[in-house]
Amino acid sequence: MLENNSRTELESLGEFGLIDLLTSHIKIHHTSTYKGVGDDAAVLKSSNAAKVVTTDMLLEGVHFDLSYFPLKHLGYKAIVVNLSDIYAMNATPKQVTISFGVSSKFSLEAIEELYSGMILACNRYEVDIVGGDTCASKQGLVISITAIGEADEKNIVYRDGAKVNDLLCVTGDLGGAYIGFQLLEREKRVFLSNPEIQPDLEGKDYIVERQLKPEARKDIIQLFQDKGIKPTSMIDISDGLSSEVMHLCAKSKVGMNVFEDKIPIDPQTYEMAREFNLDPTLTALSGGEDYELLFTIAQADYDKVKNNPDITIIGHVTDASEGVHLITKSGNKYALKAQGWKAF
């Protein structure tokens, strides 16, 4: 039982400190629970394959703003962000349960629109909706999704397997979701100051979609199977590249060097970051919500990924004593800090 009679502000712990504190007292009662808390998803053993389970929650006013977030897109994103955690375990999502709390401001048509986005995502990723719950909410819209996947136990990839000299790889490009968010927030402020002015989003489809309708990297898991690649460690990028690098290092007890000039940034992301007077590299490191996969592979697998346009090698694993560093374009070396999304 947790005992804490004094008052401690959640902010002093942060999201991951809180998780560590709460879960340190958990006792595993069943041999079917192969891996509990501490990774992108839990792993449960069954007779035929290991089950992988993850849950994520989205809160109105914290994770999304309905003044510019279409409900159908929100429903789609709510499913995808959970499936991304399953893929980050090198597993295949099979089922989801959907629960949400809604306030009286939402009509039946609005909830149908939200759910239609969820169904669209499930159809795209071939995932079954198998249950859930609905209830009234006094705090606006609350969405909670549980995703269930499976994989052969020997193929599951955790955060704790990176080895010295492994290559650090990332899929896609980074920073676009954060810049898309900045753009939507700017247009919201313009609209609130003058409702006669229409949003200026022309030509910005890519970064807006990265925020409103992200995709999970199902294709990369298939590529691993086709190429015979098993990453040594893996995580999805929800909180920003720097945070996820730090998670891999902490779990694997290693250090890393990340090279700034190797970090993939889309030209539209780069240009808009400059327009906002933001450092494009910083948006990639700390922006979050890209839902790309960050993983390490043995050097023996280099030839299997070197020519793939969807995978970029951005660094390598070092001994823990060397620390975690960003090597800048000018060759300077700086300690990497996790400055991504903070829940509290």
Q: Is residue 182 part of a domain?
A: yes
The token duo for 232 is 């040594």
Which of 155, 182, 199 is at the close of a domain?
155
| Residue 50 bridge partners (DSSP) | 45, 151
Q: Is residue 16 part of a domain?
A: no
Instruction: Evaluate whether 284 touches 263 at the Cβ level (below 8 Å).
Output: yes
Phi-psi region of 52 (alpha: psi -120 to 50; beta: other; left: phi over 0): beta
Burial of 147 (0-12, 13-18, 19+ CB in 10 A): buried
| Residue 167 bridge partners (DSSP) | 297, 316
Quick one: pLDDT at residue 1?
Answer: 46
Give the chain's domain count. 2
Q: Is the pLDDT of residue 5 over 70?
A: no
Helices (H), 55-194: 71-87, 108-124, 176-193
Q: Are 318 and 172 within one domain?
A: yes
Quick one: pLDDT at residue 3?
Answer: 56
Q: State mean pLDDT over 272-289.
A: 95
Q: Are 137 and 173 within one domain?
A: no
Across all residues in the chain, what is the average pLDDT?
A: 89
Q: Are 133 and 213 within one domain?
A: no
pLDDT tens, residue by residue, 189-213: 988 888 877 777 888 999 999 999 9
Closest Cα to residue 89, out of 138, 15, 149?
149
Q: Are 123 and 229 within one domain?
A: no
Query: The CATH number of the domain where 319 resides is what?
Result: 3.90.650.10
Q: Is residue 324 part of a domain?
A: yes
pLDDT band for 295, please (50, 70, 90 cuts): very high
Nearest-angstrom CA–CA distance, 77 and 290: 11
**Helices 108-124 + 71-87 axis angle, to 10:** 30
3-state secondary structure of 275: helix
Closest Cα to residue 177, out of 211, 141, 149?
211
Q: Are 82 and 228 within one domain?
A: no
Q: Is residue 179 part of a domain?
A: yes
Q: Are 179 and 292 within one domain?
A: yes
Q: Are 177 and 309 within one domain?
A: yes
Nearest-angstrom CA–CA distance, 330 and 281: 13
Query: The CATH number of the domain where 143 resides is what?
Result: 3.30.1330.10
Which of 130, 155, 180 is at the close of a domain?
155
Q: Are 67 and 114 within one domain?
A: yes
Place of tokens 């899929």: 171
Nearest-angstrom CA–CA distance, 218 and 86: 10
Q: Is the pLDDT of residue 343 over 70?
A: no
Q: Is residue 111 part of a domain?
A: yes
Q: Is residue 204 part of a domain?
A: yes
Q: Are 149 and 195 within one domain?
A: no
Query: Which stretch of 94-108, 209-223, 269-283, 322-336 has the lowest confidence by average pLDDT?
Result: 94-108
Q: Are 116 and 257 within one domain?
A: no
The token duo for 185 is 């927030």
Instruction: Evaluate whether 158 touches 114 at the Cβ level (below 8 Å).
Output: no
Q: Is residue 205 part of a domain?
A: yes
Q: Containing domain of residue 69, as a range?
A: 52-155
Query: Could you tell me which residue, 25 or 102, shows the higher pLDDT?
Result: 102
Degrees (nearest 5) of the Cα angle 261, 296, 278?
Answer: 35
Cβ–Cβ contacts within 10 Å for residue 289, how many?
Answer: 22
Query: Could you tell me which residue, 104 or 34, shows the higher pLDDT?
Result: 104
Which of 128, 155, 182 is at the close of a domain?
155
pLDDT tens, residue by residue, 65-120: 999 999 999 999 999 999 999 999 999 998 888 888 888 888 888 888 998 999 99
| Residue 132 bridge partners (DSSP) | 98
In the chain, at which residue ranges do the beta strands (DSSP E only) sit? 33-35, 42-45, 50-59, 92-102, 128-136, 142-151, 167-171, 233-236, 255-259, 293-297, 311-318, 324-327, 333-335
| Residue 53 bridge partners (DSSP) | 42, 148
Q: Is the dihedral angle over the CA atoms 265, 268, 269, 272 positive or is it negative?
A: positive
Nearest-angstrom CA–CA distance, 1 and 25: 7
Q: Are 189 and 283 within one domain?
A: yes
Nearest-angstrom CA–CA distance, 169 and 157: 14
3-state secondary structure of 10: helix
| Residue 96 bridge partners (DSSP) | 129, 147
| Residue 151 bridge partners (DSSP) | 50
Q: Are 111 and 246 within one domain?
A: no
Nearest-angstrom CA–CA distance, 82 and 80: 5
Q: Is residue 149 part of a domain?
A: yes
